[in-house]
Amino acid sequence: MPTLFDPVRLGATEMSNRILMSPMTRARSTADHVPTDMMVEYYAQRAGAGLILSEATGISAEGLGWPYAPGIWNQAQIEAWKPITAAVREQGGKIFCQLWHMGRVVHPSLPGRGQPVSSSATTSPEDVYTYNGKQPAVEARSLARAEIQRIVDDYRAAALNAAAADFDGVQVHAANGYLIDQFLRDSVNLRDDEYGGSISNRVRFLREVVAAVLDAVGAQRTAVRLSPNEARKGVNDSNPTALFEAASIEMSALGIAFIEIREPGFSGTNGQAERPPIGPAMRRAFDGKFVLNSDFDALKAQAALDAGLADAISFGRPFISNPDLPARMARKLALAPDDMATWYLGGAKGYTDYPTAT
């Protein structure tokens, strides 16, 4: 069986190991969502990952509701990403851009936003981020059918922009209760047209977005992130196994490079997840590389590879405080703890000041 440190090919991307850095919002861009110089150092420090999945990156102002998060919808943003992708490549790394539309989790107080949009006129039960701290979410308006095509076109344009910024590929963020997830799952998707009701209809928006993205950058440079097993930002489903099996079949038919899923651990009544893992059923349904994420350490990750549950594992929080995470794992070194208070603090503290192992 392969180890975490063996190479693997994900579509067109040759990885030197099977360790991915998962997407993590860090809020170090400008208020206009332009990447900053400190992000060059941050990503270059972590280029030992077989593949970096960038922090979630807005495809449009409408879809970006996180202060100081980056975007990829205008020329200034494209130009600011170029030194980051170049720095990762100079260190021997690879990097995908994660494409993000937050849907109903966007607050109208952010400049130029207006009422958020979603599959249906619903309201997130959680407070949302603004430049004045967290505030209660407001009701989203249901997207008209013509607007859905506009957003599909925004994803296509963002993928083209990511290619112009020299990313190795893109990942469509379809997880964690954001817009695509708001179409997928029936607790939020209350539509009665061809985008709602049946599982096939609810998967339609995801299918159209991914088809547009692969038309822009190619199937072998396109990936998708899903979160099949637990409520995220008030978004859930009554039959998630059937839903995410169907989504996996659709993604397989499109020939994308890989699926990454965020699925917390499950241990009966005390587990974080609501039910046993859906990942194994998705892996059987998907004819491509499969990546697992959430709650892994080196031992659990290797066990998942040994069991054939995944082809690679993505790690999030350990990469925050261990920029050389793959090297530390290979040497079986203890990992440094991170400081949650600095996750979104801005500045170098808790961002680029974590040392590598000696």
Place 321 in a pLDDT band, splitting at 50, 70 and 90.
very high
Instruction: Name the pLDDT band for 276 (thresholds 50, 70, 90).
Output: confident
* Candidates 43, 178, 195, 351; catalytic one: 178
* pTM of structure: 0.97
Helix extents (H) in the chain? 37-45, 75-90, 145-164, 179-184, 199-217, 240-254, 279-285, 298-306, 317-321, 325-330
**Per CATH, which fold does 8-342 belong to?**
TIM Barrel (3.20.20)
Looking at residues 161-188, what average pLDDT do you find? 98
Q: With 0-12 CB in 10 A as exposed, 13-18 as middle and 19+ as buried, what is 343?
A: middle
Q: What is the mean pLDDT of residues 176-195?
A: 98
Burial of 1 (0-12, 13-18, 19+ CB in 10 A): exposed
Q: Which two tokens stand for residue 284?
A: 């059987």
Q: Which residues contact 41 (CB under 8 A, 6 or more apart)?
A: 87, 352
Mean of pLDDT values over 246-264: 97
Cβ atoms of 96 and 54 closer than 8 Å? yes
Where are the chain's structural domains?
8-342
Average pLDDT over residues 179-203: 98
As a whole number, mean pLDDT of residues 323-336 equals 97
Average pLDDT on 63-84 reads: 98
Mean pLDDT of 155-182: 98
Q: Is 43 one of the catalytic residues?
A: no
CA dihedral 350, 355, 356, 358 (to 10 degrees): -150
Mean pLDDT over 17-32 rounds to 98
List residues bridging with 117 in a β-sheet: 141
Q: Quick one: pLDDT at residue 358? A: 77
Phi/psi at 54 (5° precision): -60, 160
Evaluate if residue 265 carries a pLDDT over 80: no
| Confidence (pLDDT) at 183 | 98
